[in-house]
Each structure stands twice: as C-alpha cells, then as structure tokens.
Amino acid sequence: MEKRNLQPSAFRKLTLVAGTALLLSQCLSSAALAVPVAYEFSTGAAVLTGPPSSAAAALTGLSVSGSFIYDSEAALLAAPASGAYYQGITSLSGTVGGYSFSDSSGFLTTVQNDLYAPPGSAPGAPLDLLQFSAEPLLGGAGNYDLTGFSVGGLTLANVRLFWIETLTTGAPDFLSSGSLPATPPTFSGRLALDFVASPYTPIDGQPSPTLPALSIAFFDNLTVRPTSASVPEPETLTLFALGLVGVMMAKRRKRSV
C-alpha cells in the first residue's frame, strides 16, 4: 500500500483549521457568558437563625427553588462610599413548598468589596458582599412588582439572594472590585424571604421594611448554576467552529478554481 505524506502546505492548512476552530470555540464560549444568562437556583431547608421568626417557623423543612436572568454588564445605578448598586437581575420566579413568587423587573444588585460589616459584629476587617434584592432597599419609583404569598398572618415583602465572605464554610474573599462579577458565585450562599404582618401593600417610593418589622426566613446552601440552554456545551461549540472553518475553506477553494 502506498503511503501518502501530508505536504507542508496541507499540514499548515490543517494546523490553521484546528487552531482557528479552537479560537472560535473559546470566543463563542466567552460570548455565551457575556450576554444575559438564565440561571436556576436551589436552597436547603429553612433554618432558624437570628431573631425568632414566625415566618421561618411556618416554612420549616421547606426549601426554595427558582430561576432568574443575570446580566454582568448591567448599568451602574449608584456608587456611594458604602458600595456599588446595579440592576443586574431580571425575571425572578421561585417556589417554596406550595407557595410561589415572581418579580419581572430588575433587582437591586449590591456589590460591597471589603465594605460590608455585619450588624452587631465586633470591629474587624470589612467583608465582601454580593446581594440580589427583589425590592429596592431604599425605595424608588416604579419598582414594586413582587408577586408573593401570605403564610401564618405574614405577607412576603422581599426576596434576597446573597453571598458574604466567611458567612458559610469555604466562602472566600471573592470580590476584587466594585464591578459586577462575570457570574454569580459558585460557592454556597444564603436566601432570605422577608415577611411583614398582613395585610401589606407596598407604596411606590417607600423603602422596604427593615427590622424589627420584618420576620425573616433564611435558607442556607443557596446554589446557583446556568440553565442548560444558556451555555452551549464545549463539544457543541467546537463542532460549530469546525463547521464554520470548513465552510470558509470551501468558499476559498471554490474561488481559487
């Protein structure tokens, strides 16, 4: 059988194809995460922590799951000395037991890089905090559209997903600036459902309720991950890139005939 060796020019072409395919795959993967990405989340069961909470007692044993859309390139809303504020999150929906909640408009996303001091904590080095709040903590026009539920004489007033350095085991120093991170943290965070006594009707522009008016149900082991439809598999990206390079070379070969 006759052995056929690749000519230098053919070898260079194959090398060019492989290198271009790899580069396109990496570029496409980066682009997939640069646009708003759909995420799903889940938590462990409600935990009794902090002040006594009738909301936590009513939801004991239940966990929360849901989804949202994250935009790492959302516009900066404000940057006071206490941190930076963005929109960042839209299209929240979730369930806890037989209850559900949703918020179609933007969350208030708080970024505090070495600026967060837990209430009542002893003086020490400030920590990192990233928090998604369904309702604006300081009030604002046209932002109240959380659709919640009532339980045990309480009405849901806010939903918060947050990550705090050292709050949970293995929570690192995860922020390096006041900018939005490229993705939500991959380590475990905490979710809070903030309740107030029923009936509760938020007034546009009114700050969200705070302690001691709140009854808070905390849920640990908050995990967040992209939905399967948001980020193509690496193999899919590579095949797409190879196909694109093949089409380009076929057109080039046709022109040269």
Q: What is the arithmetic mean of pLDDT over 2-24?
A: 48
Q: Quick one: pLDDT at residue 236?
A: 46
Q: What is the pLDDT of residues 168-206, one digit of tens each?
A: 877 899 999 999 999 999 999 999 999 998 888 877 667
Give percent of the chain above pLDDT 70: 67
Q: Please, what is the average pLDDT of the chain? A: 78
Q: What is the pLDDT of residues 140-159, one digit of tens each?
A: 555 678 899 999 889 999 99
Q: Between 124 and 111, where is the model more confident?
A: 111
Reading the block at residue 42, the tokens are 């889940």
- CB-neighbour burial class of residue 11 (10 A; exposed 0-12, middle 13-18, buried 19+): exposed
Say if residue 212's pLDDT is above 90. Answer: no
Q: Quick one: pLDDT at residue 141?
A: 52
Catalogue the E-assigned strands of the chain: 37-42, 46-47, 64-70, 76-78, 84-86, 89-96, 99-103, 108-116, 127-133, 150-151, 154-164, 189-197, 215-226
Separation of alpha carbons 17 and 197, rounded Å: 65
Say if residue 222's pLDDT is above 90. Answer: yes
Q: What is the arithmetic mean of pLDDT over 98-112?
A: 90
Q: What is the pLDDT of residues 117-137, one digit of tens each?
A: 887 666 667 899 999 998 876
Q: What is the pLDDT of residues 18-61, one digit of tens each?
A: 444 444 444 444 444 558 999 999 999 987 665 667 787 889 88
Say if residue 224's pLDDT is above 80. Answer: yes
Say if residue 112's pLDDT is above 90. Answer: yes
Q: Are 5 and 153 in contact (CB under 8 A)?
A: no
